[in-house]
Amino acid sequence: MNKEILILILGMMVVTYIPRMLPLVVLQNLTLPSFLQNVLKNVPYATLGALIIPAVFFIQEDIMFGIIGAVTAFVVAYLGANVIIVVMASIFVLCLYSLLF
Amino acid sequence: MISTTVARRKSEFFSGVQAGITIAIGYFPVALTFGLLAEQTGLTLMETVMMSLFVFAGASQYISLSLIAAGVGVLEIILTTFIVNIRHFLMSASLNEKVEKDSSWKRALYSFGITDETFSVASIKEGTVTTSYMFGLFLISYSSWVINSGIGHVVGVNLPLVLQESMSIALYALFIGLLVPSLKKHRKVISLAAFAAIVNSLFTLTGWLSAGWSIVVATLSSSVMIEWIFTKWKLEVNQDE
């Protein structure tokens, strides 16, 4: 095994693990100001917005691919389906789209 | 008494596993492709699996491959990884508001499993999230990531091209599927997601910030601004009454 790659992997592990671990361990016994608590409760929804847009439009060269997939997911989720169904439906519709066009 | 606690933990663990199945499916094509690219970059099977096993962070693993191929130095790749994954800091702090209190070592252990996907699933879940749930969610996602990286290295991506391309929507469909039910319930959620999406688009499309920083700036500015606006607006409504 290449020693340089091993050092690289261990280094990547350390710099990825520390930000994941610190807040969960350190903040447990602290009570944050309520404004800050509310901000942290907002983070999931803001994160999802930023994770989806704009990246979803660039999953394939054809921008329609991302648009059709995202719209399908949105509609199916809006109708109240479970996330697994949402994922399967988007994949299925995109399969149809690429077979037809 | 003890047996009911064990039973409760077991059922929490399995509900975590169940919630993680969607993530495992979403990781499947991404990890396969990672394995294939790692093989093409010249990493051995052992090195490929070890990277997925120890790092467990999709985007930064992909970036590291292109940097290795470009002959970039180890320190620089590690620094890039840090920047790409700094958003986990925010996610971990947010998750702290959501998970049950437990011993530090257990929290330190499952925190290794925080990714965009596991974080999203856990934090959208109703009510408090238990430690057992986190372990279940983490284990199934992690297994899919590690195993499929190895398979990708050994056999390549042998899926039909149509399916392979279509599966690239999986993780985004997961994110949308998690966001939409909350959109329907709270007006604040729409504002949070939209504001972050706009800020993130602005920074990534203009190239002012790298994707790693852009997500952090978008998430943080949206969470703070919207909280501020809603707090202020509520105060004004109360004063009108």
Domain match, B139 and B228 both: no
What are the start-end ranges of the E strands in chain B?
A: none
CB contact B37 to A (< 8 Å): no
Name the residue among B114, B108, B97 with its Cα closest to residue B23: B114
Domain match, B158 and B204 both: no
What DSSP state is assigned to residue B169? Answer: G
Residues of B within 8 A of A81 (CB-CB) are 177
Distance CA A9, CA A11 (A): 5
Q: Cβ separation of B215 and A1 shorter than 8 Å?
A: no
Q: Read off the pLDDT of residues A34-84 as tens digits, 9 standing for 90 and up.
A: 999 999 999 999 999 999 999 999 999 999 999 999 999 999 999 999 999
Domain end marker among B180, B205, B233: B180
Type of residue numbered A15: V
Domain match, B13 and B54 both: yes
Chain B interface, mutation test: which of A28, A61, A64, A83, most B Cβ atoms within 10 Å? A83
Domain match, B131 and B211 both: no
Looking at residue B238, its pLDDT comes to 56
Residue range of the domain that includes B230: 186-241
Residue with tokens 């350390």: A14
Domain match, B16 and B48 both: yes
Domain match, B78 and B195 both: no
| Closest CB from A5, A24, A39 relative to B43 | A5
Name the residue among A95, A91, A48 with its Cα closest to residue A72: A91
Domain match, B141 and B193 both: no
Domain match, B213 and B134 both: no
Total residue length of chain B:
241
Structure tokens at B219: 């998430």
Domain match, B105 and B9 both: yes
pTM equals 0.90
What DSSP state is assigned to residue B101? Answer: P
CB contact A99 to B (< 8 Å): yes
Per-residue pLDDT of chain B (241 residues), as tens digits, is 567 888 989 999 999 999 999 999 999 999 999 999 999 999 999 999 999 999 999 889 999 999 999 889 999 999 999 999 999 999 999 999 999 999 999 999 999 999 999 999 999 999 999 999 999 999 999 999 999 999 999 998 788 889 888 989 999 999 999 999 999 888 899 999 999 999 999 999 999 998 888 999 999 999 999 999 999 887 666 554 4
Structure tokens at A101: 């066009």
Residue with tokens 């447990």: A28
Domain match, B160 and B98 both: yes
- d(CA A26, nearest CA chain B) in Å: 8
Chain B interface, mutation test: which of A4, A12, A22, A100, most B Cβ atoms within 10 Å? A12
On whether the CB atoms of residues B99 and B113 are closer than 8 A, the answer is: no
Domain match, B88 and B168 both: yes
Q: Cβ separation of B172 and A13 shorter than 8 Å?
A: no
Looking at residue B212, its pLDDT comes to 82
Within the 208-237 window of chain B, which residues sit less than 8 Å (CB to CB) from chain A? 214-215, 218-220, 222-224, 226-227, 231
